[in-house]
């Protein structure tokens, strides 16, 4: 793929993301789901109204800035409401999220390209990210989670750029890495797991380097069919495995002092600075006291059961998408009837038209992606563990290829953003999986790219089929992502399981 086609593909995916996020942005003239907190909090910073914030405040600052800019733009003010404490149009408190969320597929493309320098792989990762429903829904409303993801991904991308630089401006990219990770944590505490993923990769790289010192001399790779799922010969595979480079192979060029300085001290400083405007507004608590109050708040939220919240979903329900949640649900008698800002919905069974905003991922994208993650775990076992078992000695082969490093990167970052939730006892929701599932999108993109690059017709057909199913599924479920009017029959057609409702 040429640079021109690559850039055209990036532009197309970005335009698609922008269009889907801004189309009908003011459709619901009310506060949708947690907009009752984040949109109001953003406005509180503008009106100088003190309040308790149960999360770090960065996302609400950005929403507040968006409200200020939106209120000075003489467009899109046909509908207004006073639910945030000021008379605002829904567009004014949502556009900043839509604009920011539009860049997430683009950043995924840049990050993925930096992993492998494969343009087709990068474009597939960006396309699949743009075809996810949960990311689309979260980007269309004044919510917080897209900021955790975008700052975390920026941190990962800047780290890869720093690794690519051979001591030329590396310090600058490492500073940007620390700033981005600090901003992710400054949005919600679980942004810390992006930073944990970076540390996990760094530690893994040093362990690999140490274990490779026990490796025998050059050897032919085992299971070359896993190699990149094509029909290259063993000698070709061996040559490609050694010569192709990825910035991940330079991780051991970063020493512990640089890690502590750039990925420890700088994120901490950024996190502290983020709190200053809020603490100046709400003087009831100091820096330590406000964190004690936040921790107390989250510990009091109760366990993962429907008695606490009907959409509580424990961590093990996320990968298979067994418990998505409705952010907005309203019914009317006809498509021409207005949607009320206040008041209950029609009595059960009275509505003929359903407006539903469902925070639900693209089911086939998530399911295929989970299978890809499992495949990568198996590949890591074959490439890194099995040789030692067969030779009855502890070592890792020296000829680890780019695909092995990519697999390690995706598995470690997925685990870093997913496994900490196993120990969380409070009520959690499907959107807490967003930081982990973005690596699932890259994993299935890697698998599809390997299939499309194969000499085997069957594998190429498999790659095309998976891509088609993912895109078709996105189109099929798009009405419940965008809150488009549906008949009761069409709505039920998209609710495949009772737990989805």
Of the candidates 474, 448, 473, the residue with the CA atom closest to the CA atom of residue 462: 448
Q: Count other C-beta atoms under 10 Å from residue 471's C-beta.
A: 17
Cα angle for residues 92, 95, 99 (degrees, 5° grid): 160
The band of 342, judged by pLDDT with boundaries at 50, 70 and 90, is: low
134/132 Cα distance (integer angstroms)? 6
Residue 332, classed as helix, strand or coil, is strand
- What's the average model confidence in pLDDT over 34-63? 95
Rounded to whole angstroms, how far apart are CA atoms 107 and 112? 8
Average per-residue pLDDT for the chain = 90
- Contact (Cβ atoms closer than 8 angstroms) between residue 90 and residue 37: no
Sign of the CA dihedral 55, 61, 66, 67? positive
Burial class from Cβ neighbours inside 10 Å (0-12, 13-18, 19+) for residue 146 reads buried
What angle, rounded to 10 degrees, do the helices at 35-47 and 58-71 form? 70
**What is d(CA 93, CA 64) in angstroms, rounded to the nearest whole number?**
8
CA distance 224 to 359: 41
Give CA separation, 128 vs 76, 162, 197, 488, in Å: 30, 26, 22, 29
pLDDT band per the 50, 70, 90 thresholds, residue 35: very high
Q: pLDDT higher for 225 or 160?
A: 160
Asked if 445 and 320 touch (Cβ cutoff 8 Å), the reply is no
Three-state secondary structure call for residue 290: helix
CA 210 from centre of chain? 32
Rounded CA-CA distance 408/442 in Å is 12
CA angle 269, 275, 281 (to 5 degrees): 150
d(CA 493, CA 45): 43
Q: What is the pLDDT of residues 6-32, one digit of tens each?
A: 999 999 999 999 999 999 999 899 999
**b/e per residue, 424-445, with b = 16+ CB within 10 A?**
eeebbbbbbbbbbbbbbbbbbb
The whole-angstrom separation of Cα 326 and Cα 490 is: 16
> Which residue's structure tokens are 């999220």?
97
Question: CA dist 104 to 65, 138, 275, 411, Å?
Answer: 20, 12, 25, 20
Summarize pLDDT for 386-435 with one digit per residue, the tens: 988 888 888 888 888 899 999 999 999 999 999 999 998 889 999 999 99
**Torsions phi, psi of 356, nearest 5?**
-130, 125
The more confident residue out of 112 and 336 is 112
For 285-323, write each residue's pLDDT tens digit. 999 999 999 999 988 877 777 778 889 999 999 999 999
């Amino acid at each position: 793929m040429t640079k021109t086609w690559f850039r055209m593909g990036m532009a197309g995916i970005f335009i698609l993301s922008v269009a889907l996020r801004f189309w009908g942005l003011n459709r619901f003239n009310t506060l949708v789901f947690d907009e009752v907190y984040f949109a109001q909090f953003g406005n509180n910073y503008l009106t100088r109204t003190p309040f308790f914030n149960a999360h770090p405040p960065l996302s609400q600052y950005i929403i507040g800035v968006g409200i200020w800019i939106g209120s000075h733009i003489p467009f899109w003010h046909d509908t207004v409401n006073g639910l945030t404490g000021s008379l605002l149009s829904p567009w004014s408190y949502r556009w900043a999220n839509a604009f920011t969320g539009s860049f997430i597929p683009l950043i995924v493309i840049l990050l993925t390209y930096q992993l492998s320098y494969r343009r087709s792989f990068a474009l597939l990762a960006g396309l699949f990210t743009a075809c996810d429903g949960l990311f689309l829904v979260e980007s269309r409303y004044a919510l917080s989670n897209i900021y955790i993801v975008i700052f975390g991904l920026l941190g990962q991308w800047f780290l890869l750029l720093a690794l690519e630089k051979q001591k030329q401006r590396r310090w600058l990219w490492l500073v940007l890495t620390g700033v981005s990770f600090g901003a992710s944590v400054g949005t919600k505490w679980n942004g810390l797991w992006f930073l944990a993923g970076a540390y996990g990769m760094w530690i893994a790289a040093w362990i690999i380097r140490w274990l490779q010192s026990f490796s025998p001399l050059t050897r032919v790779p085992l299971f070359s069919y896993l190699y990149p799922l094509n029909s290259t010969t063993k000698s070709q595979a061996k040559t490609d495995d050694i010569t192709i480079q990825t910035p991940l192979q330079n991780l051991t060029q970063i020493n512990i002092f640089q890690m502590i300085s750039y990925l420890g001290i700088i994120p901490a400083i950024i996190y502290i600075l983020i709190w200053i405007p809020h603490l100046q507004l709400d003087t009831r608590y100091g820096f330590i006291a406000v964190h004690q109050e936040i921790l107390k708040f989250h510990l009091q939220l109760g366990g993962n059961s429907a008695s606490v919240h009907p959409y509580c979903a424990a961590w093990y329900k996320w990968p298979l998408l067994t418990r998505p949640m409705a952010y907005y649900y309203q019914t009317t008698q006809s498509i021409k009837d207005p949607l009320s800002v206040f008041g209950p919905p029609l009595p059960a069974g009275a509505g003929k038209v359903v407006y539903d905003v469902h925070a639900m991922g693209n089911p086939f994208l998530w399911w295929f992606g989970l299978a890809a993650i499992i495949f990568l775990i198996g590949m890591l076992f074959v490439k890194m563990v099995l040789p030692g078992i067969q030779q009855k000695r502890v070592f890792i082969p020296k000829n680890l290829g780019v695909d092995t490093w990519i697999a390690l990167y995706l598995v470690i970052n997925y685990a870093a953003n997913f496994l900490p939730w196993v120990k969380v006892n409070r009520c959690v929701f499907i959107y807490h999986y967003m930081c982990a599932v973005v690596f699932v999108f890259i994993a299935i993109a890697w698998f599809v790219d390997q299939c499309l690059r194969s000499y085997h017709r069957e594998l190429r057909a498999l790659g095309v089929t998976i891509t088609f199913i993912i895109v078709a599924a996105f189109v099929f479920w798009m009405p419940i992502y965008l809150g488009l009017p549906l008949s009761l029959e069409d709505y039920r057609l998209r609710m495949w399981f009772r737990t989805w409702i």
